[in-house]
Every structure is written in structure tokens, then in C-alpha cells.
């Protein structure tokens, strides 16, 4: 447990875990009848605890109960639903430190980031509480006399949420907080490699529902593999499926959901670029690139993977970056001062080794000899045409390239299949407004003088192209979790038709 003085048993007791855990919360009960899996610490590849996974039979029982609970939950006034989400936020706040430590232990990100991830759910709860009183429709002028036209937003019923290992609980918060205040039940399948986080977060939600004498099936969760995910994608009882993961799997999820005329919210691959113009503040650039490329050991979908440097600042920026990279402390994510923890799995290490080929390694490039999945943050000088540059890589590998003009840099930014996050560093207004305009970045997140990662919850999060097109968290993302009805009321005694049609 690194610098934590508590024993593992004391730590687990604090968040409701044990050496053997049930990986299904179904109809208000902990139940799972599948096989047992081992949760592994990526820092040493040793077992943390055992978890019993849910089966398809468990899934069916959970969905039947959730369908019944949806009838009750959608009838609760939205501000009252907001009060329940407020209590969930308070429950998470009370366990902020131990939950953050669990994220670091099981996922591998450093402790400040683990705690920050849990804080992100808390922030989403706070946001959703206010939103519960603002699910407003529009009043629309009618062209017909004595008619009123407006929009009504109603719950979908059930929202399915499938999350990934790199943000094993924050992405749940982006979806669940909004879905719940919108009047939907939530069915969550956490990542197969982070089951303890799924269980620990669910326990807190379950306690709030029980304390308020609400059906436990308002929130259902499963630890399981691809079979549970496939069941969610194909289930006609789930109108909206939110999936976070690779573009390859996301395409399959979308096909399954589309076949049944469901809705998909996809948060898929990122391959994010940061452009440094000749007038950029270099000190700001170096700090931003360092965090964006090295943070979470490069395992964020918003990680900076491609760095485009104007030829006039190329050497200066690289010299400073290489110097910082050589000072990085790599090690136990729970130890104070560690900046880079392990990659999540051994296969991630193999992908890292593939990803550093095809260019000139300027610093890093090694897999560290240890029991864990540790690698050196790496900078690779490479051609923009190299195949690896077009692919997402979940690891601390930064591809650096040179450019001469703004148009060239924008074209390079837009040249990959993914379209999540992008950033430019400049002081010129004309450059800024071209970058954020129709001839600029084609990404869903377009930043200026800040890194590609570290998105705030108040804005809609998501990307274009192979990133999937979904939007989560703030702005008007809530509309995806609800059903819009255009309602027209005739309060007069005549029946005028739209467009002036005279029928008969």
C-alpha cells in the first residue's frame, strides 16, 4: 500500500471490500453466480482480492428488476431525484481518500490523480443537483391561433453504462449523475480489470438508495466480461447505451444498438495533438506538454500523443522537455513524489514497445526491470506519415514533429482518424480564431494555451470521427439521456392546419 500506514485489511474494511467479493448488485442484493477472477495490482502484478463475476442469468434478473424500478423512479419529481444524487455525492465525499487510494492501487494512476478522479464524480453530483431543477424545454411560437407549442423532456427509462479501466469511476459519474436526475435507472458494467472499484462505488450508491427506502434496482452493476457488454448493447429494454473504449469495440457496440433502433453515446479513441507556434510562451508549453504526455502514464484518452513544433522553437522546446523527462520519478503510485505509475497490464507494456518503433528515440524507450508494468516516458522524433502516428497508443509515448506554417499544422492535427482533443499555443488572436473556427481543428475539444487533457465537467466532453461523436458531462449533454416530445395544445374552438392548408 505504499506510504499508507493502514493494513490492507483495514483499508478494505473502510470501503466495504474483503478478500472475496461479490461482483453483482442486482435488485438491491449482492449476487453473482459466475466464475472467480483476481484483481491485480499493476505495480507488482500480485493479487489484491478475488471477485465473483456475474453471469447472463444474473444479468437478466437485474434487468427485469431495473425495468420495474424505472416505473417508480421516473415518477419521482426531478428535484427529489436531485436530492438522492446529492446524498450520493456526500457519501463519495466521505470516502474520498480511501476510494482514491483504491483507484491508484487497482488501476495504477498516482494518488493525486486517483483522488482527483473520485472528486470528479463528486463534482458531477453537485452539478447534477442543480441540473435537476433546470431540465427545461422551450416555448415555441405557434403559427396557428389559439395554439401553444412547447417541448417536454421525459426519462428514457434505463441507461446502460460501459466504462473503461483508465477512468474506472469518473466516467460512470459523467453518465450516472445526469441519467439519474433525468429519471433513468442505471445499469453499469465496469471494466473487467477494475472490479473492486466497481463494487466499492456501487456499495455507496446502494446505501443511499436503501436509506431513502428506494428500490435498489434503480442502480444495477455487474462485474463481468464481454458477454455482459454484448447483452447491454443488444437489450431493447435499454434505450441508451454509453460506451467508453476503443474505436474497434465501439463500432461493434454501435452496430448492435443501431440494429434495434437504440441510441448510442460513444467515447472512443483519442490521438491528440498539441501545436506550438513561433510566438508561444515556451515555459507554459513545456509544463503543459509534460502533464499532457506523462500524466496517468499516458493512459488518458486525452493524452497528448502528437507534438507539432514550429521549426523556430523546435530545439528549445525539445531540450527543455528532454530535461524534464530525465527527472521523472517512476514507481509505486501510492508513494509521495511519484509522477508516473505503472501501465495497467502486461499487454499495455507490449503495446508500448511496438509504439516506440519507426522513429528516433530522444529520451526513454525502456521497459524497467521490475515485477510491475513500468516503462520510461518516451519522446520519439518521427515522420507524420509513420503508421504508428495514426493509431491510439495507451502509454507515455510522445511523437514529435516539425512544421512551418499554421495551415500545415492544422492539416497534421486533422490527418488522423480520431478527433477527441487538440490544443494550440499562441498569442495571436488571428491564429486563435482560425484554430477554433470552421477551418481549424476538427476535434470535439479545441483548446488554446492549455494542454489536451484536464477537461472541466461544465463543458460537454467528447469527440468527432472515430472518437464516436458522443458528449458527456456538462453543457446540454443531459438531453441525450432524455426523450424529447414536441407538444402542441389547441385551446380554441377551431381547427386551423399548419402551412395554411385547407382540407375539405
Whole-prediction pTM: 0.96
| Backbone angles phi and psi of 162, in degrees to 5 | -115, 115
Q: By three-state DSSP, how is residue 203 classified?
A: helix
pLDDT value of residue 51: 98
Task: Give the separation between CA 21 and CA 375, rounded to whole angstroms.
Answer: 31
Task: Give the separation between CA 257 and CA 252, rounded to whole angstroms.
Answer: 9
Superfamily assignment of 272-456 in CATH? Aldehyde Dehydrogenase; Chain A, domain 2 (3.40.309.10)
pLDDT value of residue 8: 65
* Dihedral class, residue 245 (left if φ above 0, else alpha if ψ from -120 to 50, else beta): left
Task: Give the separation between CA 39 and CA 31, rounded to whole angstroms.
Answer: 18
Q: Does domain 8-268+468-485 have CATH number 3.20.20.300?
A: no
Distances (CA, A) of 156 to 70, 133, 186, 240, 460: 9, 18, 11, 8, 20
pLDDT value of residue 358: 86
Q: Which of 217, 278, 248, 219 is nearest to 406 (CA)?
A: 278
Task: Give the separation between CA 358 and CA 387, rounded to whole angstroms.
Answer: 8
Cα 93 to the center of its chain, rounded Å: 20
Task: Give the separation between CA 501 and CA 504, rounded to whole angstroms.
Answer: 10
Angle in degrees, CA 41, 11, 119, rounded to 5: 80
| Backbone angles phi and psi of 20, in degrees to 5 | -125, 130
Break the chain into its structural domains and give their ranges. 8-268+468-485, 272-456
Give the active site residues.
267
pLDDT value of residue 1: 45
Q: Which of 493, 487, 451 is nearest to 295 (CA)?
A: 451
pLDDT value of residue 6: 62
Task: Give the separation between CA 383 and CA 358, rounded to whole angstroms.
Answer: 9
Q: Which of 232, 143, 141, 152 is nearest to 185 (CA)?
A: 232
Task: Give the separation between CA 218 and CA 206, rounded to whole angstroms.
Answer: 9
pLDDT along the chain (504 residues), means of 10: 58 88 98 97 97 98 98 98 98 97 97 97 98 96 97 98 98 98 98 98 98 98 98 98 97 98 98 98 98 97 98 98 97 96 97 94 97 98 95 96 98 98 98 98 98 95 98 97 97 94 86
Amino acid at each position: 500500500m505504499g506510504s499508507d500506514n493502514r493494513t490492507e485489511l483495514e483499508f478494505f474494511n473502510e470501503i466495504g471490500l474483503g478478500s472475496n467479493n461479490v461482483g453483482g448488485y442486482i435488485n438491491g442484493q449482492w449476487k453473482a453466480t459466475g466464475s472467480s477472477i483476481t484483481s491485480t495490482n499493476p505495480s507488482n502484478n500480485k493479487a489484491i482480492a478475488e471477485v465473483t463475476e456475474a453471469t447472463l442469468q444474473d444479468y437478466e434478473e437485474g434487468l427485469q428488476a431495473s425495468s420495474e424500478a424505472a416505473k417508480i423512479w421516473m415518477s419521482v419529481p426531478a428535484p427529489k431525484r436531485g436530492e438522492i444524487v446529492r446524498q450520493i455525492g456526500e457519501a463519495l465525499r466521505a470516502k474520498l481518500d480511501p476510494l482514491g487510494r483504491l483507484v491508484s492501487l487497482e488501476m495504477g494512476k498516482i494518488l493525486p490523480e486517483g483522488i482527483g478522479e473520485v472528486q470528479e464524480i463528486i463534482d458531477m453530483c453537485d452539478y447534477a443537483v442543480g441540473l435537476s431543477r433546470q431540465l427545461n424545454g422551450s416555448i415555441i411560437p405557434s403559427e396557428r391561433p389559439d395554439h401553444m407549442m412547447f417541448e417536454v423532456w421525459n426519462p428514457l427509462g434505463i441507461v446502460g453504462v460501459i466504462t473503461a479501466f483508465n477512468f474506472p469511476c469518473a466516467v460512470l459519474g459523467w453518465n450516472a449523475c445526469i441519467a439519474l436526475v433525468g429519471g433513468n435507472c442505471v445499469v453499469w458494467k465496469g471494466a473487467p480489470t477494475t472490479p473492486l472499484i466497481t463494487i466499492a462505488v456501487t456499495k455507496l450508491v446502494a446505501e443511499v438508495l436503501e436509506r431513502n427506502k428506494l428500490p435498489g434496482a434503480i442502480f444495477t452493476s455487474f462485474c463481468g466480461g464481454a458477454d455482459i457488454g454484448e447483452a447491454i448493447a443488444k437489450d431493447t429494454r435499454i434505450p441508451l447505451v454509453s460506451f467508453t473504449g476503443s474505436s474497434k469495440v465501439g463500432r461493434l457496440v454501435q452496430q448492435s444498438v443501431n440494429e434495434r433502433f437504440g441510441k448510442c453515446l460513444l467515447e472512443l479513441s483519442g490521438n491528440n495533438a498539441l501545436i506550438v507556434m513561433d510566438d508561444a510562451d515556451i515555459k507554459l508549453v513545456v509544463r503543459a506538454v509534460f502533464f499532457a504526455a506523462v500524466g496517468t502514464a499516458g493512459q488518458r484518452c486525452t493524452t497528448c500523443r502528437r507534438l507539432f513544433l514550429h521549426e523556430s522553437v523546435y530545439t528549445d522546446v525539445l531540450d527543455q522537455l528532454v530535461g524534464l523527462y530525465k527527472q521523472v520519478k517512476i514507481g509505486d503510485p501510492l508513494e509521495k513524489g511519484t509522477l508516473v505509475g505503472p501501465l495497467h497490464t502486461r499487454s499495455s507494456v507490449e503495446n508500448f514497445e511496438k509504439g516506440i518503433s519507426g522513429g528516433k528515440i530522444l529520451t526513454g524507450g525502456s521497459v524497467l526491470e521490475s515485477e510491475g508494468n513500468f516503462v520510461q516516458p518516451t519522446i520519439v522524433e518521427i515522420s507524420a506519415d509513420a503508421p504508428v502516428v495514426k493509431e491510439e497508443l495507451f502509454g507515455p509515448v510522445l511523437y514529435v514533429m516539425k512544421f512551418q506554417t499554421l495551415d500545415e499544422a492544422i492539416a497534421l492535427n486533422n490527418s488522423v482518424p480520431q478527433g477527441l482533443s487538440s490544443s494550440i499555443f499562441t498569442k495571436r488572436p488571428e491564429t486563435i480564431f482560425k484554430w477554433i473556427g470552421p477551418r481549424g481543428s476538427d476535434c470535439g475539444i479545441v483548446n488554446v494555451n492549455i494542454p489536451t487533457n484536464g477537461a472541466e465537467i461544465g463543458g460537454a466532453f467528447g469527440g468527432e470521427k472515430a472518437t464516436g461523436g458522443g458528449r458527456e458531462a456538462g453543457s446540454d449533454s443531459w438531453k441525450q439521456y432524455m426523450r424529447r416530445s414536441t407538444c402542441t395544445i389547441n385551446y380554441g374552438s377551431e381547427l386551423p392546419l399548419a402551412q395554411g392548408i385547407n382540407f375539405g
